[in-house]
Amino acid sequence: MKQLKSVLALLLALALLVSCFSACGGSDNSSAGGSSSESSSVDSESSESNVSSEDSAKEGETGTPASDIYEGETNQQTYPLTEEKVTLTMWYPNAGSMGELADFNDGEFWQWYEEKTNVHIDFIVPASGSESDAFQLLFASADMPDMIEHNPNGQKYRGGEDAAIEDGYFVDVAEHLDWVPNYVSWLHSHEDWGKACYSDTGKLYAMWGVWRTINEEGALADQGLSLRKDFLDKVKMEVPTTYDEWETVLTAFKDELGIEAPFYTSKYGIDNGEFMAGYDTAPYFYQRDGKVQYGPMDDQYKDYLGLLHDWWEKGLLDKDFATRTSSGITADNDMMLNDKVGALVDYGTRMSDTYITRGATNPDFYTVAAPQPKKSASDPDPAWRMYDAGSDRMTTRAMAFNAESEHLELAMRWNDGFYAEDVFLNANYGLEEQEGTVWFAAEDGHRIGDYDFRYSNPDGISSATVLVQFWTKNPPVRVEAAQIEQSDQNKQDSYQVWSQYEPTHFLPVRLTNTAEEGTQFASKYTDIETYVQECNVKFIMGQMSLDDYDSYRDTLKSMGIEDCIALKQAALDRYNAREMK
């Protein structure tokens, strides 16, 4: 296995090197690595579980072992996890979320959890913007960390999740469910989420993040269209609901207020689907009545590009959008903080006057949510939500484990603690003893984060720093109420505006390819995606004519898009056929 991994690592490194030279733009290829600094075994008194790995998933089916605990209400680990302190290494791609901390270990939660577990974490934090490249370099390193926290939607092993296990890099969590009883309780509590966690072959590539939701039916959308309310007030207009109304508003922003980028798009010209959904298409793969489609092949997609080209010609888009850093959500700081943006796709946590705390120069800065536009007010609502946790409760984070870690059981038990209520409440709200300062108790006793403390605390700590100094960034269990209930009413209303749409067209996040399919898909779609992104920009800027769109589609076919659609269809069919057992 080690010889095979060495060969694979060499091939991967060569592939990455070639891709770096062939890419249109460079990126920071910071490597990541680390090893445990102490050797110790898990304490012999570590908690026992009522689940056995023999009960875990078998080939070809998913398996959710029995548990009588609901959502980790009782912590089933025994602490400390080890008698002698052990240091574990964890790859943690959150450089952009450190606030003013020099080390995540300076955060009060991490200090509390270290004392509780007797485990110290050596955080390995790749440079912001280099995360995807740094993730690939992990597989070319002889020093892979014990734990790898990542976003599997953007940081993927080239052959797919099953291949990462079969090639000996990551452990199959399904083979060690007796070590993670708190996680098992969540698998048992929500079968839709459990179904999404397993692969089609019954493997668990990682311990997946989960929302503890406000509503039983699932999580709210946490991102959507955002407009400058103070700008709307100045031009005496209301939040637009149709594309024509949007054009009127954006034109007023440009002509009356001199806004440089009335509508801010990603550097690819296309957002994550919220703004184009009214054209009944999507930015990439989606489904219609169970059949996988590819947005850029649609006539509707062509029509939407025509709209953007028209707006580009009229100066309603950022003239330099192709040189910006945004890949779909939020804007470059200089643009956002200096009154250069009128509307964009943004996160709920950044609504209202949040940008003032981030350095906005205008004291009247205020944003409100906008619904997805329609061509006509009488059209049906769009069938798109970019972030669909409604069916599987899954967050965009997961923790994978180095299959050759000498502290594998300890690492998995350490992470399992986050799925227990006594730990995830502290991770989401602040420590229990911080009641009255960082959080307060509602009438029914549940915690509510203190909005005033986060945004105007007496020590003048920035809101970004408060998040990591007293709480944690993207913990394995995210309490939805912690994010929403501490917000002002406008922010709470934003989540409701964005959540009114059914994710009918959105493909389940957890479609999985077989190892062979993953290789086939990557060999074709990597080039297709790059080509589509480049052509989107050219169509919008008029460097390619939409009269040549049929020829463009023919090129996509010659590059293998129909094969990629077929592979996605096979994955969707298998996903729909999964059964929880």
Q: How many CB atoms lie within 10 A of CB 112?
A: 17
Name residue 208's beta-bridge partners: 398
Report the predicted TM-score, pTM, of the whole model to 2 decimal places.
0.73
Pairing of strands 207-212, 477-479: parallel
pLDDT, tens only, 238-256: 999 999 999 999 999 999 9
Per-residue confidence (pLDDT) for residue 178, from 0 to 100? 94
| H/E element, 14 | helix 2-22
C-alpha closest to that of 312 among 269, 253, 278, 351: 269
Per-residue confidence (pLDDT) for residue 13, from 0 to 100? 46
The answer to whether the CB of 259 falls within 8 A of the CB of 235 is: no
The DSSP call for residue 219 is: P
Per-residue confidence (pLDDT) for residue 171, from 0 to 100? 98
3-class DSSP assignment, residue 71: coil
**CB-side exposure of 205: number of CA atoms within 13 Å?**
30
Per-residue confidence (pLDDT) for residue 168, from 0 to 100? 96
C-alpha closest to that of 193 among 36, 395, 328, 58: 395
The DSSP call for residue 375 is: S
The answer to whether the CB of 430 falls within 8 A of the CB of 438 is: yes
The answer to whether the CB of 119 falls within 8 A of the CB of 42 is: no
Per-residue confidence (pLDDT) for residue 58, from 0 to 100? 38
The answer to whether the CB of 335 falls within 8 A of the CB of 260 is: yes
- 131-138 and 2-22 helices, crossing angle to 10°: 150
Note the residue count of the chain.
581
| H/E element, 477 | strand 477-479
| H/E element, 148 | strand 147-150
pLDDT, tens only, 437-459: 999 998 888 898 887 888 788 88
Compute the distance between CA of residue 65 and CA of residue 148 in angstroms, rounded to an integer: 25
The answer to whether the CB of 190 falls within 8 A of the CB of 219 is: no
Compute the distance between CA of residue 508 and CA of residue 394 in angstroms, rounded to an integer: 10
The four Cα atoms 480, 90, 405, 158 give a dihedral, to 10 degrees, of 80
* Residue numbers in the chain where pLDDT is lower than 50: 2-3, 6-10, 12-41, 43-62, 388-390
Q: Which amino acid is at 261?
A: A
Compute the distance between CA of residue 211 and CA of residue 224 in angstroms, rounded to an integer: 18
| Structural tokens at position 344 | 């964009």
pLDDT, tens only, 171-194: 999 999 999 999 999 999 888 888
Domains of the chain, CATH where assigned = 2-218+391-498 (3.40.190.10), 223-386+513-577 (3.40.190.10)
| Per-residue CA distances from 98 to 73, 95, 194, 358 (Å) | 30, 6, 31, 14
**E strand intervals along 339-391:** 341-347, 367-370
